Amino acid sequence: MLLKKYRPLTSKEITFLDKELEQVKNRLKFHYKLFFGYSLLAILIGSFVFFKLDSRAELYLLIGTVIVYILIGVWIFLENYCKIKKQHNNISLAKARNNVISIRVISDRYIELSEDEGVHYLFQLSDNQILSFGGQDFYPSKKFPSDNFEIAICYGETEEVVFLKKYTFGKKLEPVTKIIGKEKWNLFASANYPNPDKFTILEGSLKELDKMTTPKRH
C-alpha cells in the first residue's frame, strides 16, 4: 500500500530546519571573513612590495596584480554567496510553506539495485503496482528498509530537495533479491525503467521486470 499526502511540519522537523538555517548563516559569515582576510592580505603584500619598486612599469604591474587577485576573491566570494543565499532562501521557503509531501509505504517485498551513487528500490505495492525510488539518501540501515515507513520531503523554489527524512515504523526487511552487474545496468538503461527521483509508480509485479511497460506517474 502507498499513501501520498500533504501534512504540516512536525516540531522536530522545524527544529531541524532552524539548525540548518543557523549553519547556513554561519557559512555565510565565514565567507565574509575569508573574503575580507584575502583582500587585506593582497593589499598588505602589495604595500610591502611597493617600497621595493624601482620603476613606474613595476608599479603598474603591481597595481594590476593586486587588482587581479582582489577580483579573483570577489568572483569566488560571489559564487559561494549566491549558492549559500539560495540554500537559505529555500530552507526559509520550506518553513514558510509548512507543507511536507508524505509518502507512506506498507509493503513486505522489494528488490534492491545498488550502485556507486546510492541505492535504488523497487517495492511491490498492492493492486499490482511497483514503486521506484532511491539515491544517496536511501542506503540501508539497521531499520531501513522496513515493511512500514514514511518518506517526508520538502522542495525549494525550483524543485530542489530541501528536506528529506525517513521514518520507519515496521520491522526491517531484506530484499527478495539484489540485482547487480549487467542485469542492473540493463534495467537502468531501459527507457521503461521508472524514474527513482520522482517516486514513480508503474503497473506490474516484481516477478515480471522484463515486462515493464511505460511508467504511470502519480
Task: Answer for the pair 77, 31: CB distance below 8 angstroms, yes or no.
Answer: yes
The span from the CA of 18 to the CA of 91, in Å, is 9
Q: Hey, is 145 helix, strand or coil?
A: coil
Q: Which three cell numbers stand for residue 98?
A: 509548512
Lowest mean pLDDT among 97-106, 109-118, 185-194, 205-214: 205-214
* Dihedral over Cα of 34, 39, 45, 48: its sign: negative
Cell 522496513, residue located: 146
**Helix axes of 11-50 and 56-97: crossing angle, nearest 10 degrees:** 170
Residue 81: burial class (beta carbons within 10 Å; 0-12, 13-18, 19+): middle
- Per residue in 58-81, pLDDT (tens digit) is 889 999 999 999 999 999 999 999
Domain ranges of the chain: 9-97, 101-211
The confidence band for 216, taking pLDDT boundaries of 50, 70 and 90, is very low
What's the pTM value of the predicted model, to 2 decimals?
0.78
Helix (H, G, I), strand (E, B) or coil at 107: coil
The CA-CA-CA angle for residues 213, 214, 216, to 5°, reads: 110
Tell me, what's the pLDDT at 210? Answer: 54
According to the model, what pLDDT value does residue 215 have? 43
Which tops the pLDDT comparison, 147 or 179?
147
